[in-house]
Structure 1
Amino acid sequence: MATATAISSHEIRAARVEHDALRERDLADKLNISEGQLVAAHIGHGVTRVTNDLDTLFAAFGQLGEVMALTRNESCVIEKVGKYENYRGGDHASLVVNEDIDLRMFPRLWVHAFAVEKVTPKGVRRSVQIFDAAGDAVHKVHLRETSNLARWKTIVADLAVEDQCDQLVVSVRAPVEDVKGDPENADKLRLEWGKLTDTHQFMQLTRKLKMNRLGAYRIAGAPYARKISPEAVEALLHRASDTETPIMIFVGNRGCIEIHAGPVKRIVEMGPWINVLDAGHDLHLRKDHIAEVYAVTKNTRRGAAISIEAFGADGALIVQFFGVLRDEDAAGQWNVLVDQLEADFQAGAA
């Protein structure tokens, strides 16, 4: 079902002025609208509706030079600085793969897109922001001082669409899928899991058995999925930093997954958040949203892929951590780190 805002665009803009210190997401929640509807209300006031076609968007992103790529879900935000190079389009999934920016995109979720200019005390902030049908953010591209600012206005004009209405009609947000497991298929799950040769085969397996990721983890047990306490995630980041262990971090939503591969150095706690604040890479994770954590082993042709995966109380996947398999030494360091985490943070341990 599609819904429009209960307040006018003028009222939304007035609220933005009144609550200028609030982040867009927080203000949208306060107004009981989606973030996409908040942005759309400013069309003609620094915001332009642009095409949602990925091939066109990413050709434009490539002209911007160095930018910051941001992807988030309810509990985790990842930000990577780099260039949108090596884009590969596809009807079901599209990719950007380079040393700095690594993305997996699902085009059917890229529904609404806007070019945004916001005046702040630090100057004009420019971005392209993409939202799904419910008006929830899928991905954002933020320009930096080092970006090709001279191309911005031309790019926005080229991307602009005819419809510049400042009202955004959105669909009801799809609920998080209930945890699906089938204890009667537990033996079959374990048997087939042991035959995996690629991590991507796992989701095919769960679909075949009418399960989902968390449901399978709860049923499989050791040696495939071992439950550990939520505190292990914070310890993981500190220990990876202390031991200079390169890791891979996957953060995503239904429409986009963003990946960091490399070291994490500066780990900073701020209230409920645990943060990675490194040059070219930021991670912001709500520790208090983590309800379940599993150490998971899946076989690949290059050896075992061992991950630490965190889920919210609603069963939603928040973040995944892997070793860097292509680097034998880094993978070995990661496996030792996970072994120590499992020993120190067994679920239910005091």
Structure 2
Amino acid sequence: MTASTMTPAAIRAARAEHANLRDRDFADKFGIAEGQLVAAYVGEGVSRIQASPDEIMPRLAPLCEVMALTRNPSCVIEKVGIYENYHSGQHASMILNDAIDLRFFPRHFVSAFAVERETDKGTKRSIQIFDAAGDAVHKVHLRETSDLDAWKRLVEELTLEQQSQELTLEPRKPTEPAKANPEKADILRAEWAKMTDTHQFMRLTSKLKMNRLGAYRIAGEPLARKLDPGEVNKMLFAVQDQELEIMFFVGNMGCIEIHGGPIRNLREMGPWQNILDPGFDLHLRMDHIAEVWAVTKPTQRGDAVSVEAFDAEGGIIFQVFGRRTEAKDHRPEWNAIVENLTSFAVKEPA
């Protein structure tokens, strides 16, 4: 069956036969969007709610402690905390506190659902937000200590009149491949060297009609150095061993979630490298990493050095920076870790 022929009833029937699959894996197996799977249960523990961040986010803080989850096809990040300190914006919104650090892009918040699901461990409750293609943008999972009265108020206040089990989708936009113009490489390097803030980088590449990965490929050292993909593990273990605080960015087109702090418990399971820390989990598909770059961007506070990973289509999987705080500047230790990472070795033809 395909997304165009599988009815909500058929989705529910197939789900009953594959109850052990995760939602994302089930959707991939049956060629549907994850949003269609959730929508198929509207009226059966699922309610359609308003999708605007300005409506959802201010109502999350009263839930008290919850888990924030953001993912792309290769990486999942989960942080436990309270959705306090929300800042609205027309093009970008944010939540920023010690535990929950999120950037939202409201135009990708197209459909949203309040989900109550019975499991062997009791009732699980979540807010799930999807983009126009039915791909998950962000999820909020309640915990045992969450306020159920606040949950009931949220659902009551945000539930829409229209409660269809059908979800209208738009075609998923393909990942933009690396885009560069070698003839403008000198301009890129010159303008890059003049940067005073990391946020200027995207404006620079846009002006030159390039994108992030394309610019890295033609910039050359010391601005961008291609690393061996296996060095990601070396980086993670070095951060763990040195108890270094980092900024770990994971996101998709609609949301970026950030962990600021150390890494304490790394555990490999098959193709996954996992961070399993109190209040912070991360799950990374190592076999999806096609390119890794060590990148240096000048700022007013000195160079911002990052390690960035991309998949085979050119989509960004994650970015990692050294974390700088008023109390301690971690740049020297982080920079030393990055400097010691092995460059990508180009194989000579036989």
What range describes the TM-score normalised by the shorter chain of this pair? over 0.9
The size of the alignment, in residue pairs, is 345
Q: Is the 8 A contact 1:251 1:318 kept in 2?
A: yes
Partner of 1:348: 345
C-alpha distance in structure 2 between counterparts of 1:215 and 1:155, whole Å: 43
Matches within 5 A, 1:1-350: 5-326=4-325, 328-341=328-341, 345-348=342-345
Paired residue type of 1:347: F
**Structure-2 change in CA distance of 1:328 and 1:153 (3 Å):** closer
Paired residue type of 1:107: P
Structure 1: 5+ residue runs without aligned partners? none
Q: Is the 8 A contact 1:199 1:299 kept in 2?
A: yes
C-alpha distance in structure 2 between counterparts of 1:122 and 1:279, whole Å: 20
Q: Is the 8 A contact 2:3 2:31 kept in 1?
A: no
C-alpha distance in structure 2 between counterparts of 1:194 and 1:74, whole Å: 33
Q: Is the 8 A contact 2:33 2:135 kept in 1?
A: yes
Q: Is the 8 A contact 2:3 2:33 kept in 1?
A: no
C-alpha distance in structure 1 between counterparts of 2:13 and 2:149, whole Å: 31
C-alpha distance in structure 1 between counterparts of 2:312 and 2:127, whole Å: 31
* Offset at residue 349 of structure 1 (A): 7.3
C-alpha distance in structure 2 between counterparts of 1:53 and 1:190, whole Å: 39
C-alpha distance in structure 2 between counterparts of 1:129 and 1:5, whole Å: 22
* Offset at residue 149 of structure 1 (A): 1.9
Q: Is the 8 A contact 2:248 2:258 kept in 1?
A: yes
Structure 2: 5+ residue runs without aligned partners? none
C-alpha distance in structure 2 between counterparts of 1:57 and 1:303, whole Å: 37
Q: Is the 8 A contact 1:250 1:319 kept in 2?
A: yes
Q: Which moved more, 1:270-279 or 1:320-329?
A: 320-329
Q: Which moved more, 1:323-332 or 1:152-161?
A: 323-332
Q: Structure 1, residues 89-143: CA drift from partner, whole Å, max 9, x if none? A: 0110001000000000000000000000111111111000000000000000000
**Cα RMSD (Å) of the superposition?**
1.2
Task: Give the fraction of aligned pairs with identical amino acids, expressed as a percent.
Answer: 59
Q: Structure 1, residues 64-96: CA drift from partner, whole Å, max 9, x if none? A: 110000000000000000000000001100010
Paired residue type of 1:338: V
Paired residue type of 1:108: R
Q: Is the 8 A contact 1:289 1:313 kept in 2?
A: yes
* Offset at residue 325 of structure 1 (A): 2.5
TM-score, scaled to structure 2: 0.97
C-alpha distance in structure 1 between counterparts of 2:116 and 2:329, whole Å: 45
Paired residue type of 1:156: V
Paired residue type of 2:339: D
TM-score, scaled to structure 1: 0.97
Q: Structure 1, residues 183-226: CA drift from partner, whole Å, max 9, x if none? A: 00000000000000000000000001000000000000101000
